[in-house]
Amino acid sequence: MVADHKKVTRLLKTARGQLDGLLKMVEDDRYCIDISTQISATQAILKKANEEILTGHLHGCVREAFESGDEREKDQKIEEIITILRKIS
- Per-residue pLDDT, averaged over 33-40, amounts to 98
pTM for the model stands at 0.84
Burial class of residue 11, CB neighbours in 10 A (0-12, 13-18, 19+):
buried
Task: Assign 89 a pLDDT band (cuts: 50, 70, 90).
Answer: confident
Identify the helix (H) or strand (E) that includes residue 70.
none
Name the CATH topology of 5-88: Methane Monooxygenase Hydroxylase; Chain G, domain 1 (1.20.58)
Average pLDDT (59-65) is 91
Contacts of residue 66, Cβ cutoff 8 Å, sequence gap at least 6: 74, 77
Q: What's the rounded Cα separation, in Å, for the pair 23 and 17? A: 10
Residues with Cβ within 8 Å of 70's Cβ and at least 6 positions away in sequence, in order, are none
Q: What is the pLDDT of residue 52?
A: 95
Q: Looking at residue 56, what is its pLDDT?
A: 93
Task: Return the amino acid letter for 45.
Answer: I
